[in-house]
Structure 1
Amino acid sequence: MRRLVLCMLAILATALPAWTEQVKGSLLIAGGDFRLDNPGWPRLVDLAGGKGATILVLPTGSGDPVGSGGRIVEHLRGLGANAILLPLAEKGFDRPAADIVTDPVWIDRARHAGGFFLVGGDQSRYTAALLRADGTDTPLLAAIRTAHARGAVIAGSSAGAAIMSATMIKDAPETLDLLATGPIAGRTLGPGLGFIGPDWFVDQHFLARGRFARTLVAMDSAGYTRGLGVDENTAIIIRERKTAEVVGASGVVVIDTRTARRVPGWPFEQTGSVLSLLRDGDQMDLATGDVTPGSARADAPILPTSPGFEPDPELPATLATGDILAPWQFGRLMAQVLESRKGEATGLAFDAATPATRPAFRMLLTRNANSRGWAGDGITVLNLTIDITPVRMADPLFSPLRP
């Protein structure tokens, strides 16, 4: 199965543009639920060129393109941008998408725009509209790439974030099924638009929906070793594919599997993946992985290997959870592992209704000699290791305490 998925993605990749050109533009990748009071919005206007800059809003992924796109246009205009709704969607507009992507007027507007915003919804609608049947760029997408290479910002939330990598998750099954049997050929993974370049995989709603496990499977299946998991109401700003900065209320998980060991076959088994959790204001060099903490945390380092390290006394001696895929659970565990006495946490992922009939998974999150972080409004966590091992659960899981 994995070989088939890789072959399909390799064929699709041949239709993508070359990545050798220099890109002067920025990306603003939001993980969904990108609220209008998030400081990322004025940053988007600044990246597009400041007040008066033209930003084209693409509502293509939305089920209500006119309504959702219109609200974002209004908000960006309130911030001083010359925001314009680009009428590219399956419904809601008078002209079909095939006309818009070849329209010289819209192509010219895109080529000279300072920025683009891709509305959330269904990411497959973006690739269906902006890529030809053979996977090559439509004229409109080519114009967007030209503008980005010259300096324009491309932003997107939720589905607009999923399309940022060259391969995206299209329609993932339940995470336990994905861990048990792997991606479904032709359905789970598909071509994205690749604005971030060839080296990074992107997933969204990351902590709010417990998506770290599905991302690890997708990265392994598609051949990625670096990934970004962007949480809700949070964005990561990437400049010229070189540096990244986190903006917003939650965080971004950076995934590095370059030193991981993958046991062949399914169910999924992998050890040694390295994870970091970046918070608002944190910056990272994408080439070296070096992290500079945000000013709110820079003066409060957490150094577990230092002689003066004091574990959080309120944390239990043993960290464990029976549902590591639960909403927000993984982000909490990462912070707790960094500050705990033992520096490890065990989590389980299984089907409680029929625990013995489906593969279950034990996930061990551990601190190591390179783990460190900073405290403040949200804890930055660097270099934890995760091991995922298939296990068998008992059925029943429990028995009555009294007869």
Structure 2
Amino acid sequence: MGFRRSGRLGANARRFFASRRRSAATGLATKRHAIASAVHDAPLQGRTRWAGGASAANMALMRFLFRLLGLLLCAAASAHAGTAIVIGGALKSDNDAVWQRVVTEAGGNGAYIAVFATAAGNPERSGAQIVAALARRGAVAELVPVAPRLRDVDLATQLADPVLIAKVAAARGVFFSGGAQALIVDTLQPGGEPSEMLKAIRQVFDRGGVIAGTSAGAAIMSRMMFRDPPDNLQILKGQWRERRDFDRGLGFVGPELFVDQHFLRRGRIGRMLPAMRALGYRVGIGVEENSAIVVKGDEIEVIGARGALLVELGDASSDERLPYFNLRGAQLSYLDRGDRHQLKTGVSTPAPHKLREPRIDPAAPDFKPFLRTSDYFLDMLGDNTLVTAMVQLLDGTEPEVRGLAFRARPRPDDLAPDVGFEFRLYRGPGLVGWFSSALGSDDYTVLKARLDVVPVRMATPLFTPIPAH
């Protein structure tokens, strides 16, 4: 990032934990069988009998046993809940942390993973690249021929093919390629109704498998998604079409989490904030390129080359009197690779190598800022500008950092060419962070920075030459 401040399990451990998981699964199955047998074979004792012939005591016993069986089945379902891996796009073929994690979550060597290049412009090429990358990590991967742009393939026939559907349902993992996310939902969920193929994919997830997707394949992971939106500034200005620019996603990360991709490189905070407010989300996460988040239950883990930006709007408010988007009190956290976040508790935990370093707390009496810059950023939607500003806020001398988002050369169709937005990052309760160079780069974690966004009127033209005297 341009800043500087001065493991794997062993084979025996892996075998031990694997045996423990097998023993637990066997024990649970044995308990379910024993309970069912007890219910079936319970003797009828006592004089008082109900219409079905069982005594009151036995009815109470059976109610208890059925309740216990239900709890055990719920526990079994929770133990086997699926995993979603949301990849921020531009995933490199040598990113072992992400590719290997997909295979590991699917069951490791020999796991069958169904690859959907449904969104791709060239499904054959994209699918072949994904299949090869997964195969190099030990998976048995196969391209599923379900894509509108596949040549010489009848899409409707493939979607309804019972043999193909059964094969997908039996997979341990599913991987969605990048491209156009609208093609995924239009193909698998036409008119908002799940196809039989989508039902098969959900079976993989419900059975404890992994659903992974990169770029467009990541966009479909939340309940609602961007479909084909205009650029970030247009969305900030309110120039977007509610029924055309977003759509229903497939919802593998649950109903309460909104996700976006290519996030920091493309400055997509500009579209996430208005979308979250419009769609009623309180928590969102934007994943950077060549990085991923692993969502399992209520835990998020960041893996890959960079990180992800967590956006929390639970305490945010807007001034409805202003004619353009505005926001006060948003909370931003930059989670770096190895960091984790608990959705239920809202607690973020830095990676172990970060926790070995001193915590950076601007509110501490002994805080000594490392960064002496006090920049005003002229493109807050630029490549990684937001995280750079957050680091300056955490480890710098000033209690706030400001910047602008605007278009110096407005487009002809811009209905508000003179409108821009000022971003104000500022310190609040809980702002802390960590720094480490243990992984070979200058890596920060920044938790609980506050953000206000207000519309401003830009000069038109932005500047004029100084005349000669």
Note whether the superposition's TM-score is higher than 0.5. yes
| Separation of aligned partners in 2, 1:152 and 1:182 | 39
| Residue 170 of structure 1: aligned partner | 227
Amino acid at match of 1:379: Y
Name which of 313, 327, 332 aligns with 1:275: 332
Q: Contact conserved, 1:180 with 1:266, CA < 8 A, in 2?
A: no
Please state whether the residue corresponding to 1:91 is helix, strand or coil.
coil
Please state whether the residue corresponding to 2:236 is helix, strand or coil.
helix
Structure holding more strand per residue: 1
| Residue 408 of structure 2: aligned partner | 352
Select the structure with the greater relative contact order (CA < 8 A; seq sep ≥ 6). 1
Q: Give me the identity figure in percent.
A: 40
Do structure 1's residue 385 and structure 2's residue 450 form an aligned pair?
A: yes
| Residue 184 of structure 2: aligned partner | 126
How far did 1:174 drift?
A: 2.1
Q: Contact conserved, 1:98 with 1:129, CA < 8 A, in 2?
A: no
| Separation of aligned partners in 2, 1:142 and 1:233 | 29
Mean Cα deviation higher: 347-356 or 62-71: 347-356
| Residue 434 of structure 2: aligned partner | 374
Do structure 1's residue 398 and structure 2's residue 458 form an aligned pair?
A: no
| Separation of aligned partners in 2, 1:204 and 1:118 | 14
Amino acid at match of 2:93: L
Q: Contact conserved, 2:166 with 2:200, CA < 8 A, in 1?
A: yes
| Residue 90 of structure 1: aligned partner | 148
How far did 1:395 drift?
A: 2.7
| Separation of aligned partners in 2, 1:156 and 1:292 | 25
Q: Contact conserved, 1:182 with 1:268, CA < 8 A, in 2?
A: no
| Residue 384 of structure 2: aligned partner | 328
| Separation of aligned partners in 2, 1:72 and 1:354 | 39
Q: Contact conserved, 2:134 with 2:141, CA < 8 A, in 1?
A: yes
Do structure 1's residue 364 and structure 2's residue 424 form an aligned pair?
A: yes
Do structure 1's residue 43 and structure 2's residue 108 form an aligned pair?
A: no
Do structure 1's residue 204 and structure 2's residue 261 form an aligned pair?
A: yes
Amino acid at match of 1:89: A
Name which of 125, 136, 143 aligns with 2:193: 136
- For 1:272-311, list aligned pairs within 5 A: 272-300=329-357, 301-311=359-369
Please state whether the residue corresponding to 2:285 is helix, strand or coil.
strand
Amino acid at match of 1:338: L
Greater than 3 Å deviation, 4+ residue runs: 354-357, 399-402
| Separation of aligned partners in 2, 1:221 and 1:303 | 34
| Separation of aligned partners in 1, 2:243 and 2:351 | 41
Do structure 1's residue 248 and structure 2's residue 313 form an aligned pair?
A: no
TM-score (norm 2): 0.78
Structure holding more helix per residue: 2
Q: Contact conserved, 2:418 with 2:459, CA < 8 A, in 1?
A: no
How far did 1:354 drift?
A: 5.0
For structure 2, the 5+ residue unaligned runs are 1-76, 437-441
Mean Cα deviation higher: 114-123 or 284-293: 284-293
Taking a change above 3 Å as real, the CA distance of residues 27 and 255 of structure 1, as seen in their structure-2 partners, is: same
Q: Contact conserved, 1:182 with 1:266, CA < 8 A, in 2?
A: no
Name which of 231, 240, 244 aligns with 2:288: 231
| Residue 70 of structure 2: aligned partner | none
CA RMSD of aligned residues (A): 1.7
Do structure 1's residue 342 and structure 2's residue 360 form an aligned pair?
A: no
Aligned length: 379
Q: Which string of whole-angstrom CA distances, capped at 9 and with x for unpartnered residues, describes residues 266-313 of structure 1?
A: 41011111010001111111111211211221122211111221111x
How far did 1:328 drift?
A: 1.5
| Residue 129 of structure 2: aligned partner | 71
Q: Contact conserved, 2:418 with 2:460, CA < 8 A, in 1?
A: no
Q: Contact conserved, 2:288 with 2:308, CA < 8 A, in 1?
A: yes
Q: Contact conserved, 2:232 with 2:267, CA < 8 A, in 1?
A: no
Q: Which string of whole-angstrom CA distances, capped at 9 and with x for unpartnered residues, describes residues 172-202 of structure 1?
A: 1122221112431321111111111110111
Q: Contact conserved, 1:256 with 1:275, CA < 8 A, in 2?
A: yes
| Residue 167 of structure 2: aligned partner | 109
| Separation of aligned partners in 2, 1:357 and 1:71 | 42
| Separation of aligned partners in 1, 2:201 and 2:463 | 57
Please state whether the residue corresponding to 2:255 is helix, strand or coil.
coil
How far did 1:366 drift?
A: 1.1
| Separation of aligned partners in 1, 2:396 and 2:271 | 26
Taking a change above 3 Å as real, the CA distance of residues 319 and 344 of structure 1, as seen in their structure-2 partners, is: farther
Name which of 84, 96, 101 aligns with 1:27: 84
Q: Which string of whole-angstrom CA distances, capped at 9 and with x for unpartnered residues, describes residues 110-139 of structure 1?
A: 211110110000000000110133x11101
Mean Cα deviation higher: 286-295 or 258-267: 258-267
Mean Cα deviation higher: 354-363 or 116-125: 354-363
